[in-house]
């Protein structure tokens, strides 16, 4: 089942469950009730450095790669940043005060499923070579033009995965009856990958320059490029994150039942992440994610 279809099924299931819970709540005051439905999407706001990126790591992830068998000792290298998108569907559970069941506490348990995609960790090698292979002399001015041939070669490698995670957080908020409210708390997510792969891409570009300029009389001088790509499937990984949700909530209307129940919110999440990769080892890193969402209040 595709992740989008799975999320739609979860949305329908959670909405049906919330309606049934509402009917039961009208009959008896329960200690716990479904109070809200959350739909949220976000991305990495301040990505952390790649949790790995050595050539040895990628040779273990892609042992059959031909491109990674090259000698990169004379190449410059750099580590690529992470990039993650997340889409979540959750429901909020409200708790009634034990001493007075007619009152609700300002805490809320938010649980659901999240789909993470585009999580990449990569490395990049680059090298270039310049050779002067011809010289031109102007008949009018006597100026000498040096024609150089430049060959630039780059190899990039990245490890990407899609994960389906269980999401849970305990939230504390200011007055939710107000038009604006603020919330914070503590959260945790954990899950396994449903699609994991390693990509290796090589690009060789050759072009000519005259006196250090690629363009001469408006024309590009004999440029060409050559590409080669490899893709390898990897074993499923495990990921978990602990975070502090910090956000602001806005109720979109004061009149009309639908407007009073519908909220927009923005949430910032400083994360501590753990990723266990079977071919390698377990890694830990930090980043900050942010996202926007829609909340529909049931009670």
CA distance 151 to 148: 10
CA distance 180 to 248: 7
First to last CA, the chain: 33
At residue 79, the pLDDT reads 76
At residue 216, the pLDDT reads 45
At residue 207, the pLDDT reads 80
At residue 27, the pLDDT reads 44
At residue 218, the pLDDT reads 45
Q: Are 230 and 62 in contact (CB under 8 A)?
A: yes
Question: Mean pLDDT of residues grouped by 10 in the chain (299 residues)?
Answer: 54 53 50 91 75 82 94 84 86 77 76 88 82 79 81 90 96 88 97 94 85 55 81 96 97 90 96 93 90 93
CA distance 21 to 31: 12
Convert 179-210 to b/e letters by CB count within 10 Å (16 or more is b).
eebebbbebebebebbebbbbbbbeeeebbbb
The residue segments making up the domain with residue 56 are 3-297
Q: Are 196 and 236 in contact (CB under 8 A)?
A: yes
Q: Is the pTM of this model over 0.85?
A: no
CA distance 163 to 236: 9
What's the token pair of residue 48? 């952390």
Three-state DSSP class for 265?
strand
């Amino acid at each position: 089942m595709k992740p989008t279809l799975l999320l739609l099924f979860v949305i329908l299931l959670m909405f049906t469950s919330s309606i049934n819970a509402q009917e039961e709540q009208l009959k008896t005051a329960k200690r716990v009730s479904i109070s809200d439905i959350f739909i949220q999407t976000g991305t990495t706001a301040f990505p952390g450095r790649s949790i790995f990126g050595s050539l040895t790591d990628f040779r273990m992830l892609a042992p059959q790669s031909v491109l990674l068998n090259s000698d990169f000792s004379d190449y410059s290298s750099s580590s690529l940043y992470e990039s993650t998108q997340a889409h979540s569907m959750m429901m909020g559970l409200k708790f009634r005060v034990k001493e007075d069941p007619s009152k609700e506490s300002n805490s809320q348990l938010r649980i659901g499923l999240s789909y993470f995609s585009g999580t990449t960790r990569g490395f990049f090698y680059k090298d270039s070579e310049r050779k002067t292979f011809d010289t031109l002399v102007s008949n009018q001015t006597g100026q000498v033009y040096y024609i150089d041939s430049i060959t630039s070669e780059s190899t990039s490698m990245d490890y990407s995965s899609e994960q389906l995670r269980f999401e849970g957080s305990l939230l504390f908020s200011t007055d939710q009856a107000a038009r604006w409210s603020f919330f914070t708390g503590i959260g945790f997510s954990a899950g396994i990958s449903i699609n994991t792969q390693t990509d290796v891409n090589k690009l060789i570009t050759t072009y000519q320059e005259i006196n250090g300029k690629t363009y001469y009389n408006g024309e590009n001088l004999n440029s060409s490029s050559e590409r080669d790509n490899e893709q390898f499937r990897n074993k499923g990984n495990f990921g978990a994150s602990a975070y502090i949700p910090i956000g602001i909530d806005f109720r979109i209307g004061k009149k009309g039942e639908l407007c009073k129940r519908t909220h927009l919110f923005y949430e910032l999440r400083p994360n501590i992440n753990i990723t266990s990769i079977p071919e390698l080892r377990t890694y830990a890193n930090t980043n900050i994610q942010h996202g926007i969402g829609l909340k529909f209040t049931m009670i």
